[in-house]
Amino acid sequence: MFHRREFLRLGLCAGATPLLPNISAANLRFADPPSSPRLTPFVAPMPIPAVATPRPAFANTAELPRQVVGPVTYLEIVAEQRSVQLHPELPPTRVWGYRDLNVASTSLMLGPTIVQRSNCPIVLRYHNDLPRNHVGFGVTETVVHWHGAHLPASSDGFPENIPGYSAVTHPGEHYDYCLPGLDPGCIDGPVDDHDRPATMWYHDHVLDYTAQNVYRGLAGSFLFFDEVDTGDETTGLRLPSGDYDVPLVLQDRRVDAQGQLWYDPLDHNGFLGDLFLVNGAVQPFCEVRARKYRFRLLNGCNARFLGAELRTEAGQAVAFDVIATEGGLLSQTLRGQSFLYMSPAKRFDIVVDFSRFAPGTVLYLESRIDHPDGRGPKGTFDRPVFKPRGDRYLKFVVGQPAPDASQVPDTLRPFAPISAAEIATATRRELRFGRSNGVWVINGESVDLEHPLFTVQRDKGEVWTLRNSSGGWWHPIHVHLEFMRVLRRNGRVPGPLERDGNARTDTVILGPNDEVEVFVKFRDYSGRWVLHCHTTEHEDAYMMTCFDVV
C-alpha cells in the first residue's frame, strides 16, 4: 500500500496519468458519495458539552515555559473511539472524540469545553487512547492544536515530529501541553492592546490527516476570559454569561445506511457533508428564555463555507449584534447585523435578544450560501450567491422571560489601528496560494516542515500580501500564534468585521483572485510555526508552510 502522500505526490488524486503500473486514477477513488438517510429535523435537544474540570497536580510535569501569574490548573483529556447518537433516527455512530478524564463516559461527539482566565496557566495532559488496530480513514497518530491560543511552540500542536517540536502521540502515549494564559497586553503593550480573550477551539492537527481526524470528531471549544470579558454579568462589560453564553459548533457530515461516518480520504478538493450538525447533533432544537444570549459561532466544517443568518418560520431576517471575531472583542459593537460570512475556522460572537419575541416563537439559524462543491461557494467575498432556501442548522424555541442583568455596550475593547510609521518600517512578504502538479502549494512549494519558507524577527512588524492565484478556488488562510490585522482587501479598506482598529483575525478568507494585505507581529515566543489553508483537505494536500521566529 502506498502512503496517501505518495498518491498526492504522483498527482493521482487530481486525475493525472497514473505513474504506477496496473493502477488507474479512477479506482483509487471511492464511488460518488452516498446520500445520508433522510431524517426528521429538530426532534432532539441541542447538546452543550460540559466544562473540563481540574485534576490534582501531575508528577513529572513539564515545566511551564516562562514565569506566570496565578495558580496552575491541571486538566486531563483523552482521545478515544466511542459510539454516539447523532440523531434519534440513526443507529449509534462510531466517532473519535476527546473526553475529560474526570468523567467516566460521554455520549457527545465534541470534546469538553476548556475554559481559561487571563494569567491563570493550565497544564493539560493529553492521552491518546485511540484503537491500535484501526481500519478505515484517519490515523491514530494525533497532536492537539490550540487554535487561536498564544503559547510556546512546543505546545501549539506542531503537525509533525521534528526535533524540538515532538508533540505527536501514538496510542498509549501522552503529552503535556502548557497553556500559560498570559495576556500579551500585560507584557508588551498598554491596556488597550489586550487581544487574547476570545472564542477559540482545539482540534487534531497531524500532518496529512487533519481533515480525516477532525471529521471523525476530534474537536472542542476553548474559551478565554479576563477582567474585561469576565464571564459574569455583574462585572466587566456585563455581557450575557453563564447559561446564556453558549458555544455553537457548526459542522457537516455524511453517513451511510448503517449510520456510520462516510468520507473519501482521496478527495483533496474539499469534502462536503449533507447532514448539518450543531455541537455534534444533527439539526437539534434549543429552548431559550426571553432575554439576551451570547452565541459563539464556530464554523467547524472541513470545507463548507457558511452564511450565518437568523430567520423566522416565515423567512424574515432577524437582526443581532456582533461583539467579537476569532480575534476577540471588537472595538465597537456592530448592531443590527443579519448575515455573517464564515469560512472553515471562522468564529463570531453574537448577541440575540429573545425578549423581542412572544413565548412559542420559532427561529432558525441557517445558511443560504450556495456552496455546491469543494471549489467553494458561488459568487465572491463581497457578493455571495444565495439559495432560495437555506440549510437549517438549529431551531430556537422562545420560552418565558428570565431575569437579565446583562448589557451590550457600544464600546467593547477599543484599540488603535497600526500606525503608518510601523507599517512603513515593516518587513514585506508575498504569499501566493495556488495549485501545482495536482497538489496545493504556497509560493509554488508543497509542505516541508523541516525547512522554513522564511524567518521572522521577533517583535518586528510584518506586512504580508496574501494572494489567491488558484483560479476559482477559495482558501481560508490561518496563521498560528498571532492575530492578523487586515489593512486592505483587493486594494480597498475592508468592512468593519475585518478592518484594523475594530477587529483582529486568525483566519483570512481568500475568494477567487482575492488579494488581502495584513499586518502581523510575532511579539514574544520564538520557534517554528505554520500557516495554512483551513479547508482541511487543502491543508493536507499540501497548502501549508512553516516559518521561524527568532
The CATH number of residue 342's host domain is: 2.60.40.420
Classified as helix, coil or strand, 395 is strand
The residues pairing with 307 across neighbouring beta strands, listed in sequence order, are: 341
Q: Give the whole-angstrom CA distance, residue 474 versus residue 369.
A: 14
Percent of the chain residues past pLDDT 70, beyond the cut: 90
Closest of 389, 365, 201, 372 to residue 283, by C-alpha:
365
Q: Is residue 531 part of a domain?
A: yes
Q: Are residues 392 and 248 in the same domain?
A: yes
Q: Are residues 163 and 262 in the same domain?
A: no
Phi and psi angles of residue 441, each rounded to the nearest 5 degrees, phi first: -140, 160
Check whether 492 has a pLDDT greater than 70: yes
Whether the CB-CB separation of 237 and 245 falls below 8 Å is answered with no
The 3-class secondary structure across 439-463, one letter per residue, is: EEEECCECCCCCCCCEEECCCCEEE
Domain that holds residue 17: 1-30
Q: Give the whole-angstrom CA distance, residue 452 versus residue 454.
A: 5
Length of the chain counted residue by residue: 550
The residues pairing with 175 across neighbouring beta strands, listed in sequence order, are: 126
The 3-class secondary structure across 327-362, one letter per residue, is: CEEEEEEEEEECCEEECCCCEEEEEEEHHHCCCCCE
User: Cell digits for 399?
Assistant: 420560552
Q: Are residues 123 and 14 in the same domain?
A: no
Q: Give the whole-angstrom CA distance, residue 347 versus residue 447.
A: 26
Q: Give the whole-angstrom CA distance, residue 377 versus residue 344.
A: 12
Classified as helix, coil or strand, 208 is coil
Residue 280's pLDDT band (cuts 50, 70, 90): very high
pLDDT at 466 (0 to 100): 98
Q: Give the whole-angstrom CA distance, residue 136 versus residue 543.
A: 24
Q: Is residue 299 part of a domain?
A: yes
Whether the CB-CB separation of 77 and 127 falls below 8 Å is answered with yes
Closest of 323, 211, 331, 362 to residue 272, by C-alpha:
211
Q: Are residues 295 and 377 in the same domain?
A: yes
Pick from 62-76, 83-97, 180-194: least confident: 180-194
Q: Is residue 88 part of a domain?
A: yes
Q: Is residue 92 part of a domain?
A: yes
Distances in Å between the Cα of 126 and the Cα atoms of 75, 81, 97, 152, 180 are 9, 15, 12, 16, 16
Whether the CB-CB separation of 232 and 244 falls below 8 Å is answered with no
pLDDT at 336 (0 to 100): 97
Q: Give the whole-angstrom CA distance, residue 214 versus residue 194.
A: 30
Render pLDDT for 419-475 as a digit per residue (tens, 0 to 9): 999 999 999 999 999 999 889 999 999 999 999 999 999 999 999 999 999 989 999
Q: How many domains does the chain have?
A: 4
Name the average pLDDT for the chain. 91
Whether the CB-CB separation of 368 and 389 falls below 8 Å is answered with yes
pLDDT at 185 (0 to 100): 47
pLDDT at 35 (0 to 100): 96
User: Cell digits for 372?
Assistant: 455546491
Q: Are residues 377 and 494 in the same domain?
A: no
Neighbouring CB atoms inside 10 A of 444's CB total 9
Q: Is residue 494 part of a domain?
A: yes
Q: Give the whole-angstrom CA distance, residue 170 versus residue 497.
A: 40
The residues pairing with 305 across neighbouring beta strands, listed in sequence order, are: none
pLDDT at 304 (0 to 100): 98
User: Cell digits for 210?
Assistant: 487533519
| Residue labelled with grid coordinates 468523567 | 103
Whether the CB-CB separation of 478 and 507 falls below 8 Å is answered with yes
Highest mean pLDDT among 12-21, 180-189, 422-431: 422-431
Q: Are residues 258 and 391 in the same domain?
A: yes
pLDDT at 510 (0 to 100): 98
List helix spans (H) across 156-199.
Answer: 185-188
Q: Give the whole-angstrom CA distance, residue 134 versus residue 151.
A: 32
Render pLDDT for 365-391 as a digit per residue (tens, 0 to 9): 999 999 999 999 999 999 999 998 999
344 CB-near residues (< 8 Å, 6+ apart): 299, 300, 301, 302, 303, 304, 305, 476, 534, 535, 536
Q: Are residues 117 and 7 in the same domain?
A: no
pLDDT at 263 (0 to 100): 97
Q: Are residues 136 and 194 in the same domain?
A: yes
Q: Are residues 271 and 195 in the same domain?
A: no
Q: Are residues 254 and 395 in the same domain?
A: yes
Check whether 501 has a pLDDT greater than 80: yes
Cis amide linkage into residue 177, ω under 30° from 0: no
Sign of the torsion formed by the C-alpha atoms of 110, 100, 347 and 461: negative
Classified as helix, coil or strand, 210 is helix
User: Cell digits for 41?
Assistant: 429535523
| Residue labelled with grid coordinates 444565495 | 386
Closest of 445, 535, 531 to residue 159, by C-alpha:
531
pLDDT at 192 (0 to 100): 42
Q: Is residue 44 part of a domain?
A: no
pLDDT at 59 (0 to 100): 77
End-to-end CA distance of the chain: 40
Render pLDDT for 294-310 as a digit per residue (tens, 0 to 9): 999 999 999 999 999 99
Q: Is residue 501 part of a domain?
A: yes
Q: Are residues 298 and 207 in the same domain?
A: no
Q: Is residue 35 part of a domain?
A: no
Residue 50's pLDDT band (cuts 50, 70, 90): very high
Boundary (domain end) residue, out of 159, 180, 215: 215
Whether the CB-CB separation of 240 and 233 falls below 8 Å is answered with yes
Q: Give the whole-angstrom CA distance, residue 138 versus residue 204.
A: 11
Neighbouring CB atoms inside 10 A of 336's CB total 9
- The residue-averaged pLDDT of 225-248 equals 96
Neighbouring CB atoms inside 10 A of 146's CB total 23
Residue 183's pLDDT band (cuts 50, 70, 90): low
Q: Are residues 388 and 530 in the same domain?
A: no
pLDDT at 166 (0 to 100): 84
Distances in Å between the Cα of 277 and the Cα atoms of 87, 285, 374, 378, 481 are 10, 11, 19, 22, 29
